[in-house]
Amino acid sequence: MIIVNFAHPLDQKQIRQLEEIGGATVERVIEVDSQVDPAQPLAPQVAALVDEVDLSARDWQSIPLIVNLPSLNHSAAVVLAELHGRCGYFPAILRLRPTNSFPAQFEVAEVISLQHLRDGARRKRV
């Protein structure tokens, strides 16, 4: 599986946790600097960030991806829209949670299948 990381770098412990949860080897982590200029329109900036990810149109549609979303909520929403357009579905996302440690550390809490959630919610529409 490939991780597309729009957030803080993942450490080896987090990658091992992700492999345990996902039941597959993390082949590659693609780091994306998700800093945006708040004075400029957001959508074109996010599209440019995603353009920099070294994946072909075929890769976006066929490779198992897990996305670590940017922390900025507006950027995260636009990233999801952009990725849905490229993948044809909502990708799985990574959720980290803080541990009770000092200095602050984070562990993998879960991988969330957004497409699965979307499909379930779609059945609730009347």
Q: What is the DSSP-derived secondary structure letter of residue 41? A: -
- pLDDT score, position 95: 96
Q: What is the pTM (predicted TM-score) of this model?
A: 0.91
The pair of structure tokens assigned to 105 is 């550390």
The tally of domains found in the chain comes to: 1
Residue 72 sits in which domain range?
2-122
- pLDDT score, position 91: 95
pLDDT at 126 over 80: no
> Mean pLDDT across the stretch 3-17?
96
- pLDDT score, position 125: 84
- pLDDT score, position 104: 85
Question: Residues of the chain with pLDDT > 90: what percent?
Answer: 91
Distance CA 108, CA 12 (A): 11
Element (H, E) at 4: strand 2-5
Cα–Cα distances in Å, from 111 out to 9, 60, 126?
A: 17, 18, 29
Residue from 115, 114, 107, 117 nearest 20 by CA: 107
> Mean pLDDT across the stretch 90-113?
93
